[in-house]
């Protein structure tokens, strides 16, 4: 899957060699009809040398750079030049008759090379250049015929077809690579889960429970342990939302991995792609809020996470139905420089240019609302 287009490149080489042989035989058989036989022979020789050069260039070493796109562009220029030698070497009878242009069926190879290298757009661009050279040479000897128009049509169809196939192969290879990577990641998570489930997770859960019982500084450590327990359980059971080639992750999919028997998650069905660092920071803030719920409300206390795409903003809310946070407690903790909510939530959101608010009170639970402007997190 590292080089999904290799079959197309091999097919192009076979096509080039076969059409070179066919064109060379035609020129040798009818060489006496040319106005400049020596010139025709030189053009065929150039075609032969260039076929060898491109054949080697289109199959680079696996550990070397892939410059086939550049070679294909040069190939197009050389092929057009071969076609443009037609008025210089052919006789007037050949120009007005049915004699093929110099290069004949060898020339579409350049358009096909561009199609393989650059997909549909490359194929159409290459076909347009070759067709333009065909039209230019044809018009030097008279008006175009239906046969000439059919040749132009075949060039465009061939370039478009091969270019489309090239794009399909690329996308299929990317999907296969992603599937293989996900399968390997799932296998690794399963192996890690077997290794640490009965050790690390139980220790983190014990620290969280004991911290809640002891309170004070131990309670803060319990909060952090609970946050890491959530993250680790999510990683082992579902993994993280994948990062695409542009370094972006789906926030909605990432938050859905936090769902459990006590945590309900509601997120948009469509992808909410943001830079991976932003998703990580928001997940950290949500994890801190959930750990705070587990610490102060109860290890089995239910919690709800809502993700909304507001167009210009992304909003995440985390709610529980606990007793609420006493007035002044958050401000006092932040003023004292203590860990917990101030460091884990407010700091993360502030770095993203967002805001975080807390709606809490006796008997109505606690709801954290995080808002981050989309334009602030697109890079």
Question: With helix as H, strand as E and coil as C, how does the chain read?
Answer: CCCCCHHHHHHHHHHHHHHHHHHHHHHHHCHHHCCCHHHHHHHHHHHHHHHHHHHHHCCCCCCCCCCHHHHHHHHHHHHHHHHHCHHHHCCHHHHHCCCCCCCHHHCHHHHHHHHHHHHHHHHHHHHHHHHHHHHHHHHCCCCCCHHHHHHHHHHHHHHHHHHHHHHHHHHHHHHHHHHHHHHHHHHHHHHHHHHHCCCHHHHHHHHHHHHHHHCHHHHHHHHHHHHHHHHHHHHHHCCCCCECCCCEEEHHHHHHCCCCCCEEEECCCCCCEEEHHHHHHHHHHHHHHHHHHHHHCCCCCCEEEEEEECCCEEEEEEEECCCCCCCCHHHHHHHCCCCCHHHHHHHHHHHCCCEEEEEECCCCCEEEEEEEEHHHCCC
Q: Residue 367: count other Cβ atoms within 10 Å of its Cβ.
A: 18
What pLDDT is recorded for position 93? 86
Sign of CA dihedral 32, 33, 35, 38: negative
Quick one: 59 exposed, middle or buried, by C-beta within 10 A (0-12, 13-18, 19+)?
A: middle
What pLDDT is recorded for position 276? 84
User: Residue 153 and residue 166: Cα distance in Å, rounded?
Assistant: 20
Contacts for 273-277 with beta carbons within 8 Å, 24 or more apart? 273/244, 273/248, 273/249, 274/248, 274/249, 274/314, 274/377, 274/378, 275/247, 275/248, 275/249, 275/377, 275/378, 275/379, 276/243, 276/247, 276/248, 276/249
Picking from 287, 319, 318, 320, the residue whose alpha carbon sits closest to that of residue 301 is 320
What pLDDT is recorded for position 78? 95
What pLDDT is recorded for position 127? 94
What pLDDT is recorded for position 206? 73
User: Residue 348 and residue 11: Cα distance in Å, rounded?
Assistant: 54
What pLDDT is recorded for position 160? 94
Domain 199-376: CATH architecture, name and number where available: 2-Layer Sandwich (3.30)
What pLDDT is recorded for position 246? 66
What pLDDT is recorded for position 199? 66
Average pLDDT for consecutive 10-residue bins of the chain (379 residues)? 82 94 92 91 94 89 78 94 92 85 92 93 94 90 82 92 92 83 70 63 74 70 71 60 69 84 86 86 87 78 91 91 75 59 75 88 85 72
What pLDDT is recorded for position 19? 94
Are 334 and 356 a contacting pair, CB within 8 Å? Answer: no
What pLDDT is recorded for position 4? 83
Domain boundaries, the chain: 6-176, 199-376
What pLDDT is recorded for position 337? 56
Residue with tokens 């040398």: 49
């Amino acid at each position: 899957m590292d080089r999904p287009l290799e079959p197309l490149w091999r097919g192009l080489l076979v096509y080039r060699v076969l059409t070179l042989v066919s064109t060379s035989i035609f020129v040798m058989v009818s060489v006496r009809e040319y106005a400049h036989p020596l010139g025709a022979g030189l053009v065929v020789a150039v075609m032969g040398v260039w076929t060898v050069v491109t054949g080697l260039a289109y199959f680079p070493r696996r550990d070397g750079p892939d410059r086939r796109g550049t070679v294909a562009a040069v190939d197009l220029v050389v092929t057009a030049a071969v076609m443009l030698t037609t008025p210089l070497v052919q006789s007037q009878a050949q120009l007005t008759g049915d004699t093929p242009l110099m290069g004949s069926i060898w020339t579409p190879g350049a358009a096909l090379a561009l199609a393989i290298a650059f997909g549909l757009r490359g194929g159409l661009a290459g076909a347009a250049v070759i067709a333009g050279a065909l039209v230019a040479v044809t018009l030097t000897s008279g008006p175009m015929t239906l046969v000439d128009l059919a040749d132009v049509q075949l060039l465009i169809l061939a370039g478009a077809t091969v270019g489309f196939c090239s794009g399909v192969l690329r996308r299929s290879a990317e999907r296969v690579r992603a599937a293989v990577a996900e399968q390997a990641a799932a296998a690794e998570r399963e192996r890690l889960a077997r290794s640490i489930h009965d050790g690390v997770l139980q220790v983190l859960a014990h620290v969280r429970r004991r911290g809640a019982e002891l309170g004070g500084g131990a309670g803060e450590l319990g909060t952090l342990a609970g946050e890491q327990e959530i993250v680790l359980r999510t990683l082992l059971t579902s993994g993280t939302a994948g990062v695409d080639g542009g370094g972006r992750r789906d926030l909605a999919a990432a938050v859905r991995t936090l769902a459990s028997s006590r945590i309900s998650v509601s997120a948009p069905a469509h992808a909410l792609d943001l830079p991976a660092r932003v998703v990580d920071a928001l997940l950290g803030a949500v994890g801190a809020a959930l750990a705070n719920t587990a610490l102060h409300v109860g290890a089995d206390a239910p919690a709800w996470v809502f993700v909304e795409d507001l167009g210009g903003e992304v909003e995440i809310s985390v709610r529980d139905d606990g007793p609420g946070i006493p007035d002044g407690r958050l401000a006092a903790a932040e003023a004292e420089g203590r860990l917990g909510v101030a460091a884990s939530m407010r700091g993360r959101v502030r770095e993203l240019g967002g805001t975080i608010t807390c709606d809490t009170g006796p008997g109505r639970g606690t709801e954290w609302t995080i808002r981050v402007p989309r334009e602030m997190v697109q890079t």
